[in-house]
Amino acid sequence: MKKRILKWTNRIITGVLMILLVGVAITVLSTKLTGGDPQLFGYELKTVLSGSMEPGIQTGSIIAIQSVTEGEKSSFKKGDVITFMEEDNKLITHRITDVTSTENGVLYTTKGDNNNADDRNPVLADNIVGVYKGLTIPYIGYLINFAQSPNGSIAFMIIPGLLMLGYSGITIWKTIRQLDDKDKVIDVKEM
């Protein structure tokens, strides 16, 4: 019974380490190749760097936003939470407080839930990148920001690899020891 438990524990640990290694490698490589943020099931994962949307969206969280097409950019209504590009190429996620149609297109007035006043500049429909659909994972944003840095990429590729290598070494050492023990038992029986 003890051997069976150890065998399954071994398989589970090996599987988890392998999934971790492959998952991190795929995330890091896809992020580096696309030059953008990680994606999961068609949603872009964005890190929240300010407290303007607290308490609903906390600083350091990651949020999932759904990309929008050109036709969808003019169809948002008051209360929707959008992610848009500001003048200095900075992404902001705020709630729409007013919608204005002009001859140049639709303008959205936005505000962070934790802010006292509306944002100074209205948002052009063309500047909308995505819409927030309510998925938030607290504190993981700090980890993702680190993973996207050069040091983080190295750490998240090397650490799981070293763990896997170390665990493989221990498993091989245990197997060799068991084989040596069996050889000693056979030698004793032959005498």
Q: Is residue 55 part of a domain?
A: yes
Per-residue pLDDT, 56: 84
Q: Is residue 64 part of a domain?
A: yes
Q: Is residue 53 part of a domain?
A: yes
User: Which residues are tagged catalytic?
Assistant: 50
Q: Is residue 173 part of a domain?
A: no
Per-residue pLDDT, 97: 92
Q: Tell me how many domains the chain contains.
A: 1
Q: Which domain holds residue 31?
A: 2-164
Q: Residue-wise pLDDT tens for the chain (191 aa)?
A: 777 887 888 788 878 877 877 776 776 676 666 566 666 666 777 888 888 888 888 888 888 888 887 777 778 889 989 989 888 888 888 999 998 888 888 889 999 988 998 888 888 888 888 898 888 888 877 777 777 777 877 777 777 778 778 888 888 888 888 877 776 666 555 55
Helix axes 140-148, 2-34, angle to 10 degrees: 60
Q: Is residue 107 part of a domain?
A: yes
What CATH number has the domain bearing residue 50?
2.10.109.10
Q: Is residue 143 part of a domain?
A: yes
The three-state (H, E, C) secondary structure of the chain, written as one string: CHHHHHHHHHHHHHHHHHHHHHHHHHHHHHHHHHCCCCEECCEEEEECCCCCCCCCCCCCCEEEEEECCCCHHHCCCCCCEEEEECCCCCEEEEEEEEEEEECCEEEEEEECCCCCCCCCCCEEHHHEEEEEEEEEECCHHHHHHHHHCHHHHHHHHHHHHHHHHHHHHHHHHHHHHHHHHHHHHHHHHHC
Q: Is residue 170 part of a domain?
A: no
CA 189 → CA 77, 182, 183, 184, distances in Å? Answer: 84, 11, 10, 9
Per-residue pLDDT, 110: 92
Q: Is residue 51 part of a domain?
A: yes
